[in-house]
Structure 1
Amino acid sequence: MTLFPATGTPQRQTGVGIDFWTVLARIGQMVGGDRVSLPVEETTHVPITPLGPNTGRYRSRAVRAVVRPRTADDVRGIVELFADSGIAASLHAYGTGANWGLGSREPARDGAVVLDLSGLDRIRDIDVAQGWAVLEPGVTQARLATLLEGTERMVNLTASSAHTSVVGNALDRGVGLRHQRVEDLMGLEVVLPDGESVRVGWWPEPDRPTPVYAHGLGPSLVQLFVQSDLGVVTAATVRLLPRPEALRVVRLNFTPDRTEAATAAVRRWVAQGLTSGVVKIYNEAAARAYGSPPGRCLVHVCVDGTPEAVQALTGVVTAEATRSGLFTEVSDSDATDPDTPHHDIAVQVERAYAGDPDPTDTLFETKTGHSAGTLDKEGGILLFLPLVPFTGPALARVGELLEQVLAETGIRCGATLNALNADVVDCVVTMRFAREDEHATANAHRALNRLYTLFTAEGFIPYRLDVEHTGWAGRLTAGTGERALAQRLKDLLDPQQVIAPGRYA
């Protein structure tokens, strides 16, 4: 329910202390009473979260309120109110809340006041020539890409829905089709736990144009607020990439028994600079969404540049792939030949690499079985995201571990291997389940627990965590002193714990 009725008179909620209520009432006056929501109670007196369901079917956290500010000044005022009040409540912020498979909008812990920043949706400034845009957390990749249509610049898209947050995904180290999105963060506007708003990294100066460079002088502070509970990010300067003159995606299939040799061949192409962007390797389960036949893994190799360079490099990759004898199918014409069986999907894949998302989310819905608007309510998806060495034996071992999880839990995992460079692969492991089936849901969560145990034992460490495995942040860095240093920074900047501890705290 909303905090205020139409008359604007506060309604007292049972169980909410007067100090907390006073703060919420003042926030309601600041942002509007219809933009502050509280949990509702069923006839059983069990609070229903205003966050709604999540596609991972993680436990719904007890949320004290949800606030939907419209501006960065609103956020600053809200944080300042909580800081000055001294009440025992912490703020958890999200952009569009599409953190599917990892908890969606859920905070890591109970008792948070949630800041829904989707209303901060302005593209404040953009310079195509210099290659930057200043975005608020509610700006989606589809909106930014549409603005860049026909220009010399493009956005580093992800393979997720077109309607997800650019800034939110980058702050959680999401992977785009060109590289990890955190590399595109040039500067951040952050509200600190005391309500002060600061800018770190590169920020546009109208009277003095400077080269776009994130690090500046002295300690580089942009990364301090990535996967961080040290402040609330209200805007970011995001790098826009040069748009290639030409682009092609080579499609390769191979059988699982050839994983070690096939992936070693692909790594060589990446190491020698024959590829562009993120090479993607899909296991059998993940490859089906892209039209691969049963029993086949799939590789997408992007090549871009000038038309002459694309033609030459495509010829080299296809010739080497054919000559190796490792691949059952080698094609560089799926997107250009309408008679190929994979034509429609191939066109969408190439468009995404070129920074042009599909606003209808056709491929996203094929992969997930649901639209972006219904996924949390109707879908069942869990994610596990480890980093794996880009070697044939390591990637073959990934397949073995997934087979072990299948044998133990009955959950067949999809796996997409994103080659970040010639040495590191981001492995996106997906578990789909029928959310209405309690047994299937329990098995999927059991599979997730086993993945954490099995993969970390091999040294394959996750780079993003879900809301149920926050304790692994300390376990995976034990003895290095890193967690202790992070806690000292937290205690220094946020002694009252105004910002809620996150998945990495």
Structure 2
Amino acid sequence: MTVLPESVTGPHASAGASLRAALAEAARVVGADRVTHPGEETAGPPVSPLGPNVSLYRSRAVHGVVRPQTAEEVRRVVALFADGTTGARLHTFSTGGNWGLGSREPAADGAVVLDLSGLDQIRDIDVAQGWAVVEPGVTQARLAHLLAGTERMLNVTVSSAHTSVVGNALDRGVGLRHQRVEDLMGLEVALPDGETVRVGWWPEPSRPTPVYPHGLGPSLVQLFVQSDLGVVTAATVRLLPRPEALRVVRLHFTPGQVEEATAEIRRWVAQGLASGVVKIYNEAAAKAYGGPAGQYLVHVCVDGTARSVAALSAVVTAEAERSGLFSAVSATDAEDPQAANHDIAVRVERAYAGDPDPTDVLFEAKTGRPAARLDEEGGFLFFLPLVPFTGGALARADALIEQVRVETGVRCGATFNTLGADVVDCVITMRFARRGDEADAAHLALDRLYELFATEGFIPYRLDIDHTDWADRLAPDAGARAFARRLKDAVDPRHVIAPGRYA
């Protein structure tokens, strides 16, 4: 699947004088050792300077990789390409951990890549007010460690602890509390003409103001989410109050009970019995969390004061047992060292409490590789649709996943993340061995998932780099897409910022 285009021959062979001049000037801005051209790091045939990706997507042809370390360097590099004469477009990534959707790869050939992992400063933090100003290279492990022992916590994801807070939020990743885009209070953005602006809420040293992202007039933060209108160099991220106590109730049910069990869980969520995101794992996904064979697994978090947690966990446990839908119910695995899944339960509860586990034990159990080796050794794809939170809709999604297994032979893992009482984010994973025919089968399964789920009305909220055309195919209103393109033409008339997966 990783066929390198013949056009990856480096800027000195294929690019014009304007591009060579821009890259040379970029080297003067960031340092010559922080600019890489295709093929220059190997003695053999030219290879992509972005390296392999875990999904075995085709390596895109890039003109080079620039690694700035400050927002001012980003602004200056963007300005070098502002007139559009280079013919190249700028593609950015934060730490490159967009696994399953493309990792570091741009959506199209012909980009100059900005690696923002060197922008790794936590510029400011206010625990009392509940915010931190962080750059794209700041990982959730680093920010969470800084908050340890305080009254605030980060809304962490169940991905690697060493992934970007900002990058994941800008692509609408899902934390254990809610979608992370809800945590974006303000953004610092290098615009295509080289100007830097700050939108939304930003701390003012001379006076404290309430943390509120919308301001007066049009709310601008969302313009730069899943967007190609600028390069985000920092974000003000909301820090959540840390609960005094927390417990995760662990449940199991059989595949034949998907509709009834998920409808019952939806009732609990609607009535306020759960805190944060309830997670429902199918048989394949549950294995990493110690789920028994042939069973679905559910994590229901309750938090608050010690007394309210004791009361709510007892209520959830009683409701589950009274329903007769669950084959096992436990609210004490994390407290009981003798419990079969004690260590896993402890890690799960810590994650809900804002600790992303820098050792990545659960992440490695799910992916089979450490984060640092995942792109070189692992193999998996993601499909991320939204499904109505009803028992019938989730049973239908489960049936579509089974249909894909029958058609392709690929058994998908699926995690249903509840985003409130009305919608569920489905994380569908196709794991494969990098050698042999498994990768081809997984990519075929991915294509079928797009087709089947879209036909059902279950629309993806994030796209991978091979399915960018679905942004137009799934748009509910053609006029809205046209308006977005008019905004692009107004802000970036020469289309300097590379069209991404959503443009």
The TM-score bracket by the shorter chain reads over 0.9
The 5 Å alignment of 1:52-451 reads 52-84=51-83, 86-437=85-436, 439-451=437-449
The CA distance in 2 between the partners of 1:42 and 1:310, in whole Å, is 55
- Following superposition, the deviation at residue 480 of structure 1 comes to 3.8
The CA distance in 2 between the partners of 1:250 and 1:476, in whole Å, is 37
Residue range with higher mean Cα deviation, 85-94 or 209-218 = 85-94
Aligned residues of 2:38 and 2:48 also touching (Cα < 8 A): yes
| Alignment equivalent of 1:499, drawn from 478, 488, 497 | 497
The CA distance in 1 between the partners of 2:85 and 2:489, in whole Å, is 15
Aligned residues of 2:84 and 2:496 also touching (Cα < 8 A): no
Aligned residues of 1:23 and 1:85 also touching (Cα < 8 A): no
The 5 Å alignment of 1:443-482 reads 443-477=441-475, 479-482=477-480
Partner of 1:3: none
Deviations 1:304-323 (A, max 9, x none): 00000000000000001011
- Residue 169 of structure 2 aligns to a residue whose secondary structure is helix
The CA distance in 2 between the partners of 1:480 and 1:471, in whole Å, is 14
- Following superposition, the deviation at residue 208 of structure 1 comes to 1.1
CA 1:97–1:12 in structure 2 vs 1: closer, same or farther (change >3 Å)? closer
Identity %: 72
Paired residues, what number?
494
- Residue 81 of structure 2 aligns to a residue whose secondary structure is helix
**Which amino acid is the alignment partner of residue 286 of structure 2?**
A
- Following superposition, the deviation at residue 481 of structure 1 comes to 1.2
CA 1:43–1:35 in structure 2 vs 1: closer, same or farther (change >3 Å)? closer
The CA distance in 2 between the partners of 1:226 and 1:381, in whole Å, is 25
Deviations 1:240-269 (A, max 9, x none): 000000000000000000010100110000
- Following superposition, the deviation at residue 175 of structure 1 comes to 0.1
- Following superposition, the deviation at residue 497 of structure 1 comes to 1.0
- Following superposition, the deviation at residue 43 of structure 1 comes to 10
Gaps of 5+ in 1: 1-10
- Following superposition, the deviation at residue 86 of structure 1 comes to 2.4
**Which amino acid is the alignment partner of residue 152 of structure 1?**
E
CA 1:58–1:12 in structure 2 vs 1: closer, same or farther (change >3 Å)? closer
The CA distance in 2 between the partners of 1:500 and 1:27, in whole Å, is 17
The CA distance in 1 between the partners of 2:40 and 2:407, in whole Å, is 39
- Following superposition, the deviation at residue 436 of structure 1 comes to 1.7
Aligned residues of 1:188 and 1:222 also touching (Cα < 8 A): yes
**Which amino acid is the alignment partner of residue 220 of structure 2?**
L
The CA distance in 2 between the partners of 1:85 and 1:380, in whole Å, is 37
TM-score by length of 2: 0.97
- Following superposition, the deviation at residue 84 of structure 1 comes to 3.9
- Runs of 4 or more, structure 1, over 4 Å off, are 41-46
The CA distance in 2 between the partners of 1:86 and 1:80, in whole Å, is 12
| Alignment equivalent of 1:486, drawn from 484, 487, 490 | 484
The CA distance in 2 between the partners of 1:286 and 1:247, in whole Å, is 24
Deviations 1:78-123 (A, max 9, x none): 0111114622111001100100000000000000000000000000
Partner of 1:49: 48
- Following superposition, the deviation at residue 482 of structure 1 comes to 1.3
Aligned residues of 2:89 and 2:498 also touching (Cα < 8 A): yes
- Following superposition, the deviation at residue 12 of structure 1 comes to 7.9
CA 1:195–1:401 in structure 2 vs 1: closer, same or farther (change >3 Å)? same
- Residue 236 of structure 1 aligns to a residue whose secondary structure is strand
The CA distance in 2 between the partners of 1:409 and 1:225, in whole Å, is 37
Partner of 1:40: 39
The CA distance in 2 between the partners of 1:37 and 1:56, in whole Å, is 23
The CA distance in 2 between the partners of 1:23 and 1:162, in whole Å, is 35
- Following superposition, the deviation at residue 357 of structure 1 comes to 1.6
Partner of 1:4: none
- Residue 384 of structure 2 aligns to a residue whose secondary structure is strand
Aligned residues of 2:171 and 2:226 also touching (Cα < 8 A): yes
- Residue 34 of structure 1 aligns to a residue whose secondary structure is helix
Partner of 2:4: none
- Residue 210 of structure 1 aligns to a residue whose secondary structure is coil
CA 1:57–1:272 in structure 2 vs 1: closer, same or farther (change >3 Å)? same
Gaps of 5+ in 2: 1-9
- Following superposition, the deviation at residue 367 of structure 1 comes to 0.6
The CA distance in 1 between the partners of 2:339 and 2:126, in whole Å, is 39
The CA distance in 2 between the partners of 1:198 and 1:41, in whole Å, is 35
The CA distance in 2 between the partners of 1:209 and 1:318, in whole Å, is 44
Aligned residues of 2:416 and 2:427 also touching (Cα < 8 A): yes
The CA distance in 2 between the partners of 1:496 and 1:378, in whole Å, is 38
